[in-house]
Amino acid sequence: MILLTGGGGFLGQHMARCLAERGEKVLIMQRRAISCPPLLKDYWDSHIVQEVGTVQDLPFLLGLVKKHGVDSIVHGAFASTDLAGGPYTVADNSLHHLVDVQVNGSVNIFEAARLHGLRRVTFISSGSNYDALPGQPEDWHEDAYLPTVTFAPISNTKKACEQIALLYAKTYGMSFVSLRVGLVYGPASSRGSDSFYAMVAGALAGQRTELPKVPANLSFPMVYAKDVGVATALVHQAAQPRHYIYNLMNTRTSSMQEFADAVKAHLPQAQISLGPAMPAARPIHDVPMERYREEFGFEPCDLQRGVGAFIEWCRSGRY
Ligand SMILES: NC(=O)c1ccc[n+]([C@@H]2O[C@H](COP(=O)([O-])OP(=O)(O)OC[C@H]3O[C@@H](n4cnc5c(N)ncnc54)[C@H](OP(=O)(O)O)[C@@H]3O)[C@@H](O)[C@H]2O)c1
Answer whether 229 contacts ligand 1 (Cβ < 6 A).
no
CATH topology of domain 186-220+252-284+301-316: UDP-galactose 4-epimerase; domain 1 (3.90.25)
Residue 236: exposure state from Cβ atoms within 10 A (0-12, 13-18, ≥19): buried
Q: What is the SS3 assignment for 160? A: helix
d(CA 86, CA 284) in angstroms, rounded, equals 21
Q: What is the model's pTM?
A: 0.97
The response to whether residue 5 sits with its C-beta less than 6 Å from ligand 1 reads: yes
Q: Nearest CA to 139 among 221, 215, 244, 227?
A: 221
DSSP 134: S
Give yes or no for a contact between 182 and 309, defined as CB atoms under 8 angstroms apart.
no
pLDDT digits (tens, 9 = 90+) for 218-241: 999 999 999 999 999 999 999 999
Res 191: pLDDT: 58
Model confidence over 191-214: pLDDT tens digits? 555 899 999 999 999 999 999 999
Q: Which residues contact 48 (CB under 8 A, 6 or more apart)?
A: 7, 16, 20, 25, 26, 27, 28, 40
Ligand 1 pocket member 181 (CB < 6 A): yes
Distance 279 CA to ligand 1 centre (A): 31
pLDDT score at 193: 59
10 lines ligand 1 (CB under 6 A): yes
Cα 274 to ligand 1 centre (Å): 27
Considering only the top CATH level, what class is 2-184+221-248? alpha beta
Calculate the average pLDDT of the chain: 95
CA pair distance 192, 299, nearest whole angstrom? 29
Mutate to test the pocket of ligand 1, among 30, 48, 140, 235 (most ligand atoms within 8 A of CB): 30
Share of the chain above pLDDT 90, in %: 91
Contact 165, 178 (CB under 8 A): yes
Say if ligand 1 is within 6 A of residue 4 CB.
no
CA of 5 to the centre of ligand 1 (A): 8
Chain segment 53-91, per-residue pLDDT in tens: 999 999 999 999 999 999 999 999 999 888 887 778 898
**H-type helices in 140-283, by residue range?**
153-172, 195-204, 225-237, 256-266
Angle of the 225-237 helix axis to the 303-316 helix axis, nearest 10: 100
Please indicate whether the domains covering 2-184+221-248 and 186-220+252-284+301-316 agree at the CATH topology level. Answer: no
54 lines ligand 1 (CB under 6 A): yes
Does 134 have pLDDT greater than 90?
Answer: no
The domain segmentation of the chain, as residue ranges, is 2-184+221-248, 186-220+252-284+301-316
Closest residue by CA, ligand 1 atom 13: 11
Q: Which of 4, 5, 11 to mutate to test the pocket of ligand 1 (most atoms within 8 A of CB)?
A: 11
